[in-house]
Structure 1
Amino acid sequence: MAHETRSPTVRRRQLASALRELREERGLSIEQVVGHLDWHPTKLSRFETARRAIQPSDVRALLDVYQVDRADRDNLLVLAREARQRDWWHAYGQAVPEGFKVYLGLEAAASSLQIYESEFIPGLVQTEDYIREVHRATLVDADDQDIEQRVTVRLTRQKLLTRENAPKLWMVVNEAVIRRVVGGPLIMRAQLERLLEATKLPNVTLQVLPFTAGAHPSMDGAFHVLGFEPADPSVVYIEYHTGTLYLEKAHEIGRYLQKFDHLRATALSVSDSCSLIKQIAHDLRE
């Protein structure tokens, strides 16, 4: 993975994995380690699952317990300091939900994104007006300032697709996504045209899952699979109304990759998908 694309979120995951491996290699349980350090077991558990940021001083304490040699120790301490850096989205405060900050960090470092959306255009290829309308519909208690901040955050995210070392994005969208008129005909037509423009990028692939496909493996909703270079395992991201879910176990990732393979095999071809989108956009002119 290129150094410049590794976000603090990914560094935290790498550090957590390294610390867990060190403990297991020494044959120590969490209870034995926290006994040496007078910590609560939950503290170490959260460090090892990257659910809590870890101070360099805590890393040093763990490395002392694990009796790590100087070279490995220095590398892990550098990783610990990098993991505590702040990314661009922290400036937007509550406009970025806490659970979604993790996703932004993973997305920024991903080498591939496989996305199935059942209800709306994927965020990385939404127009400004479409973003605003989706937020107005889903964030019923948000004021205009909050919505505009979220619009800015999403537009900033989209730079990901045209940066150097941009990830490969493969989207499968339900036919309902391109037929649901969000914000009125003008806004929706512009959104469909933006979607077609995105497919011209060499790293973007789009397919439409037609209604005629009938029942399919992802009837239970949307999901994202974020892939990384070989050193980092993939992550499945699922969003629901009151929170987010990250799946990292090998068998879970395998199930969702299998789902995605089935979806793109069942979906329209890339050319037929674009033709359908063009037809729907044309109909919105009438």
Structure 2
Amino acid sequence: MSTSRGPSVRQRRLAAELRRLRERKGLTGDEVAERLAWSTAKVSRIENARTGAKISDVRRLLDLYEIDGARHDDLVSLAHDAAERGWWEDYRDLPSPLADFIALESEATAVREWGSTVIPGLLQTESYARHVIGGWSALATLPPQELERRVEVRIRRQELLRRANPLELSVVLDEAVLRRRIGDRKVMREQLEHLRRMAELPGVNVQILPLDGAHSVLAETFILLEFSPVHDIVFPDIVHTESLTISHFADETVTYMYRLAYTSLAGQALNAADSRRRIIEVRDAW
């Protein structure tokens, strides 16, 4: 199993800004390499976030590009942030696509998710999550210890909703998800009660798309990750989708299409108050 890690959002922001500053200065990668006595390959790796940029290297680049004052300090701070390890990197057995997704999710400002199969991971109980991941384990033959670590990781991800500056989470759920049994009836009752409570958090909005309502958009589960500018450096929104065998990050050129799909689904779903009543109704049925 590959455990290689893709660049974090902070690393990508820093790389893009360093490339922009070089181009604004009118320098080529070869010229930068010559002036700093580096290889051209090193400049390319830094500007494409294929390697973590050392703080000393960032300072040398900023000096070359004649960046000083507050802008200099901002970029050095970003370089320090980019060098920090994420908590998920302690779980070395995580598949690379999952680790990459967690890294992106951890730095997102807002998440908009359409759920057509199961309760979103950020809103799952431990028991529900164990049954969901256990289902995948039946196909991927995860050892029991690794299964428990995956459950632990899923629960740790939920800290995003309770941190000082919580993630803004908006979810549209197909009503079929509430009625699809995962585990036994007790697991489902606990999960729907948990979903009801989570929907009352200030930054969480849950809407239910009724089975008997209009379904103009028939789409697989997708997650739209949105990022606010950091030190005036913009990072594009990203869409994540999954199938049985593939975890896929959609090209930013199609992100707008998914945003329109989410807006359409949210417009056809019950409002937040009616959605909570529907969750309670199905919870009691379980």
Q: TM-score of the superposition, structure 1-length normalised?
A: 0.82
Matches within 5 A, 1:178-193: 178-193=178-193
User: Corresponding residue for 1:3?
Assistant: none
| Correspondence for 2:111 | 113
> What corresponds to 1:92 in structure 2?
91
Is contact 1:225-1:234 (8 Å) kept? no
Whether the 8 Å CA contact 1:116–1:173 is kept in 2: the answer is: yes
| Structure 1 residue ranges without an equivalent (≥5) | 1-7
| Structure 1 equivalent of residue 126 of structure 2 | 128
Shift of 1:248: 6.4
Farther-moved stretch of structure 1 (101-110 vs 189-198) = 101-110
TM superposition shift of 1:89: 1.5
Once residues 266 and 45 of structure 1 are traced to their aligned partners in structure 2, the CA distance between those partners, rounded to angstroms, is 47
Moved over 6 A (4+): none
Q: Which residue is equivalent to 2:39?
A: 38
Alignment of 1:133-144 (within 5 A): 133-140=131-138, 141-144=141-144
2:14 & 2:99 partners in 1: Cα distance? 18
Q: Work out which of the residue numbers 97, 100, 103 in structure 1 matches 2:101.
A: 103
Cα distance between partner residues in 2 of 1:33 and 1:220: 47
Query: For the residues of structure 1 that align with 2:74 and 2:274, how far apart are their CA atoms?
Result: 50
Equivalence for 2:224: 225
The farther-off stretch of 27-36 and 113-122 is: 27-36
TM-score between both structures, scaled by the size of structure 2: 0.82
Unaligned runs of 5+ in 2: 1-6
Report the 3-state secondary structure (helix = DSSP H, G, I; strand = E; otherwise coil) of the residue aligned with 2:223. Answer: strand
Counterparts of residues 174-253 of structure 1 (less than 5 Å): 174-217=174-217, 219-230=218-229, 231=232, 232-240=234-242, 241-247=244-250, 249=252, 251-253=253-255
Structure 1 Cα separation of the partners of residues 97 and 49 of structure 2: 13
Partner of 2:4: none
Aligned residues: 271
Amino acid at match of 1:112: A
What's the offset of the Cα at 1:121? 0.3
Pair 54,216 (structure 1): closer, same or farther in 2 beyond 3 Å: farther
Q: Structure 1 pair 128/75, CA: closer, same or farther in 2 (3 Å)?
A: same
Deviation at 1:58, TM superposition (A): 4.8
Alignment of 1:75-86 (within 5 A): 75-86=74-85
Alpha-carbon separation, structure 1, partners of 2:67 and 2:225: 33
Amino acid of the residue matched to residue 188 of structure 1?
M
Partner of 2:13: 14
Aligned to 1:149: 149
Q: Describe the shift of the 1:177–1:29 C-alpha distance in structure 2 as closer, same or farther (beyond 3 A).
A: farther
Tell me how far 1:200 sits from its aligned partner.
Answer: 1.4
